[in-house]
Structure 1
Amino acid sequence: MGLEILLQPRLTTNIKTSGETKHAGGATMKTATADGSNKNTNTGSILIFLLTIALAISSGCIDEQEGLKIDLGRTVEGVVRVPANDTDVVYFGFDLRLSPKEDARIYAPFLQYLSEETGHTFKIHFTSEYETTQDNLGCGITQFAALGALSHIKVHDEYGAIGLVRGLNAEGRGEYRAAIVTRPASDIEGLEDIRGRTFFFGSFYSTQGHLIPRKMLEDANITLTDLRQYEYTGSHRNCAKAVIAGKCDAGGMQDTMAISLADAGKLTIVAFSDYYPSSGISANKDVDPALSEAVKKALLDFDPKGKHATNLTDWDKTEMPCGFVEADDSDYAELRALAIRYGIIAQEVVE
């Protein structure tokens, strides 16, 4: 059988130009596609259906699975082996990083590991929108999710989700950074040169693709209104493609992707950010404590560079290439303060 994925329709798309209002959940706007054009995104070859307005302005929780089952093809065939009579299913979501197919191929063998370690069957529940991934976890549509730091902060503050672990980077540290990039032929040499230019972010709720690059620009005395135009492309991959294609002057993204593309001569890195607490895996607050502890133990025991490396696919492309370390919500204090200051999340928090 091919990999079974629940694909949830997108709720919102985003575009920003200088002086426009900030993102509002439930509003329908346009987004830059992978080639940088301003048309509705068609993620890979998968047709995304819009939810109705009534659903978009409801409580934010989707009572039933609104998705459809798809097969991403033979490239992932047989990776996840689910017993036909197994009804003890745990759904796992993730923030889109690369493309749906790439991310699914990466997570499928990882979920097989979690299934074997915990005795529960893990399945992917995919949505291309960060905000929907957050709501899915908060509402219990998914029980666990791999989230960027900003996504975790938002779902923790709004729903009480619990951060289990943070990813360890290639140096074995539980932190990551962002990079601002441009084309090799660009005349942009420093952050100050971005003033008055067109700038692309990843997702509005991305830590490395929005929050940290925005702080980098602010440190260079550049606000959003100082840019000629800015857009949210939806993912690091889309942002990279747009910069390479010359659809914008510069963009902010995941440091590891930026380094890889710079080494290939496709991009030039203008600047790196400071390090911040990394992405991790969070749990819905109502998950059975025994299951949550079993998953947490499996994550802390996960050894992607050693005994578990053989069965993994491109795990080095994730933000947790060396495994995980235990997380604490206090780790995210600085990022939370930035997100509140920029109006990305509300100041009220779940006690």
Structure 2
Amino acid sequence: MTPSVYRIAPALLPLLLLLLLAACDRTPQTASGDPAAVPERALVFAVYPYDTPTRLVAHFQPLVDYIAARLGRPVEFYIASSYEDHIRRIAGDGADFAYLGPTPYLRAHDGYGAGKAARVQIIAAEDTYFSVIITRADSEIRTLAELRGRTMAFGSHKSFSGHYVPRGMLRKAGVTLADLADFSYLGRHERVALAVLYGDYHAGGVRREIAEQYLAQGSGLRIIAESPPLPPHVIVARPGLDGTTVEAVRRALIEPDAAGRSAIETLQPGRHFIAVDDARYDFARQLVDSLDRDCGCQPLPW
């Protein structure tokens, strides 16, 4: 059987077109007859993978939930797969807020964009923190100078407290990378602590709070050197995020209510946020630049 073919009279085409346009222009209605509200896009708060995912969620999810409550809109928590992923997201449009250490901050602020408008925006910073160099508790090593000819574990080569600061401490003690028998970049601070604990390396550089977690467990580690106070970790907003939202988050962090104080304490007891500007990170710029120039090894790319 030949298929039926339906034809529309030419005179009816203008009427049909008007009906189709009217249907396309119809605004969705709620049950009350009001235009349906379009849900706001969830904002994204990103953290770099300096600790285990379980610990990062435990520490940061209350803060993310608090920020969402203060803004009155959803905020999703995202753990970056790497330092590179973290920096690309906050310097582009893959995240709206990010928690950055000094080195990733420098990269995101100085390394992306051609002008001030393309730079990440500082919201607030934590109080200062510290880097330490650890050994096994039963190690014969007591000073940094004794690491000459030994092995050393660092975190990510992009980490300020897990790489640049420990290297600066070694350099001050007269020990360069070339003086070490071997060294490796292991990524997360916890991996460094475990590698030293298991005897894979003679020493390692980590954030003090990571070392303290193991010391509190009687794990068999010992701190042999501690850095001076370091430029703080900072929470930033992506380039172009509106000023109203940035200021609302700044107030929520610097002047928290009871819920905010509880959420911030979850990061670490006694922690609080303060106002800072970019000049606070000049020391980090100088240290990173000087160590990259006198590396004594093949420079590592970002």
- The two structures have a TM-score, normalised by structure 2, of 0.77
For residues 245-274 of structure 1, what are the alpha-carbon distances to aligned partners after superposition, in whole Å with 9 as ceiling and x for unaligned?
Answer: 111110000112223323433210011011
SS at match of 1:141: coil
Tell me the alpha carbon deviations over residues 265-298 of structure 1, each in whole angstroms, 9 at most, x when there is no partner: 3210011011111111011121111111111111
**Structure 2 partner of 1:342:** 291
- Asked whether the 8 Å contact 2:134–2:205 carries over to 1, the reply is yes
How far apart are the structure 1 equivalents of 2:87 and 2:202? Answer: 30
Matched, 1:289 2:243: yes
* Structure 1 letter corresponding to 2:291: Y
Q: Among 100, 105, 110, which residue is 1:152 paired with?
A: 105
CA separation of 1:280/1:201 partners in 2, compared to 1, >3 Å: closer, same or farther?
A: same
Change in Cα spacing, 1:341 to 1:278, as seen in structure 2 (3 Å) is: same
Match of 2:84 in 1: 131
Distance 1:227 1:291 in 2: 48
Local SS of the residue matching 1:124? strand
Shift of residue 308 of structure 1?
Answer: 3.7
Could you tell me whether the CA contact under 8 Å between 1:105 and 1:313 is conserved in 2? no
- The answer to whether 1:275 aligns with 2:224 is no
Task: Classify the secondary structure of the residue corresponding to 1:276.
Answer: coil
Distance 2:205 2:61 in 1: 28
Q: Do structure 1's residue 254 and structure 2's residue 196 form an aligned pair?
A: no
The DSSP-based 3-state class of the residue aligned with 1:330 is: helix
2:176 aligned with 1:223, yes or no? yes
Tell me the CA shift for residue 98 of structure 1: 1.7
2:252 to 254, 275, 298: 298
Instruction: Go from structure 1 to structure 2 and tell me whether the alpha carbon gap of 1:240 and 1:152 turns closer, same or farther (over 3 Å shift).
Output: same
User: Could you tell me how far 1:307 is from its partner in structure 2?
Assistant: 4.8
Q: 1:310 offset after TM fit, Å?
A: 4.9
Q: How far, CA to CA, are the matches of 2:248 and 2:100 in structure 1? A: 19
Aligned AA (1:330): A
User: Within the alignment, does 1:107 sit opposite 2:27 as a pair?
Assistant: no
Alpha-carbon distance in 2 for matches of 1:272, 1:313: 23
> CA contact under 8 A between 1:91 and 1:123: conserved in structure 2?
yes
The structure having more radius of gyration, on CA atoms, is: 2
1:94 has 2:47 as partner: yes
Which position in structure 2 is the counterpart of 1:161? 120
Alignment TM-score, normalising by the size of structure 1:
0.67
Q: Deviations over 1:1-46 (max 9, x none)?
A: xxxxxxxxxxxxxxxxxxxxxxxxxxxxxxxxxxxxxxxxxxxxxx
Alignment match of 1:316 (pick from 268, 271, 278): 268
Partners of 1:87 and 1:164 in 2: CA distance: 22
1:88 shift after superposition: 2.5
Deviation at 1:213, TM superposition (A): 0.5
CA-CA distance at 1:313 after TM superposition: 8.1
Check whether the contact 2:42–2:74 (CA below 8 A) recurs between aligned residues.
yes
Over the aligned positions, Cα root-mean-square deviation in angstroms equals 1.9
Specify which structure has the higher proportion of helix: 2
Residue 125 of structure 1 aligns to a residue whose secondary structure is strand
Which secondary structure state, in structure 2, belongs to the residue aligned with residue 277 of structure 1?
coil
Structure 2 residues without counterparts, runs of 5 or longer: 1-37, 113-118, 294-302
Q: CA contact under 8 A between 1:91 and 1:142: conserved in structure 2? A: yes
Structure 1 residue matching 2:44: 3-state secondary structure? strand
Aligned 8 A contact 2:46 2:95 in 1: yes
- The equivalent of 1:198 in structure 2 is 151
Q: Counterpart amino acid of 1:260?
A: Q
SS of residue in 2 equivalent to 1:343: helix
Q: 1:208 to 1:294 in 2, by over 3 A?
A: same
> In 2, Cα distance between the equivalents of 1:138 and 1:213?
27
In structure 2, how many angstroms separate the alpha carbons of the residues matched to 1:111 and 1:307? 12
The alignment-based identity, stated in percent, is 29
- Offset of residue 311 of structure 1: 5.8
Match of 1:236 in 2: 189
**Contact map agreement 2:66 2:259 (CA 8 A) in 1:** no
